[in-house]
Structure 1
Amino acid sequence: MANKNRKARRQRAIAARQSAAQKSKGSFVVNELQHLIGAEEEDVVRAARWRAKQNIYVFLMVNLVIIPGLLAFTYFTWDRAPGKVLPFIWAGYILVLVFQARAMVRFKRIIKNA
């Protein structure tokens, strides 16, 4: 009996090593989601693409609101006390834009590879 258990355990270990050594098809995100929730691949791909597109649209909409707001704030306060911190506000916003651009590139890659 113990011999059968060892043999079955050994076979499972060999199968796990072989499957780990093979290149996975599709994107990592899609494979992990499919494994976690057990959905069909098409549904997972569609959901990943939809979420990535949604993130890109949210970034664009938020920036379309923030940039005019910052421009108006700069125009009306550049010669008063709040204007003294404007370079830091713009530098912080540009830093946020850099991280958003990196995220958008990642989302575009997800859309393309999914």
Structure 2
Amino acid sequence: MKKKILVIEADREVREIVGLILTEEGYDVVYDAPWPVENLHKHQPDLIILDEWINEKEGHLLCTELKDLHETQHVPVIIFSTQHNIAEIALKCRAEGYVSKPFDVEALINEVQKCLDINTTADIG
């Protein structure tokens, strides 16, 4: 069964490129507005790729909200950003991974696979 990835990205072109790349890799890609957070679990994603800057709000705040909600705390999150301290941001909001923009296609694919593997291992254990 295809893994579902929810992409929350402010830039339409970047969102479409990421969607195309991940669809080509065999993932089911969906898009949604990030707020209210309670609505995001309706997609039942296996992974969320989250832009650090969404509609004048910081993505790491959304990530923290997702990690605090019972319905979404188990879903791995990848922070997607141009910020130079992205690793620190990801750690602080409990994201499982991060990808710097501009991004390398292989780096994106590898990070997605790594985070999905971590989640699969957690489900087994």
Relative to the length of structure 1, the TM-score reads 0.23
Q: Which protein shows a greater Rg?
A: 1
Structure number with greater CO (CA < 8 Å, separation at least 6) is 1
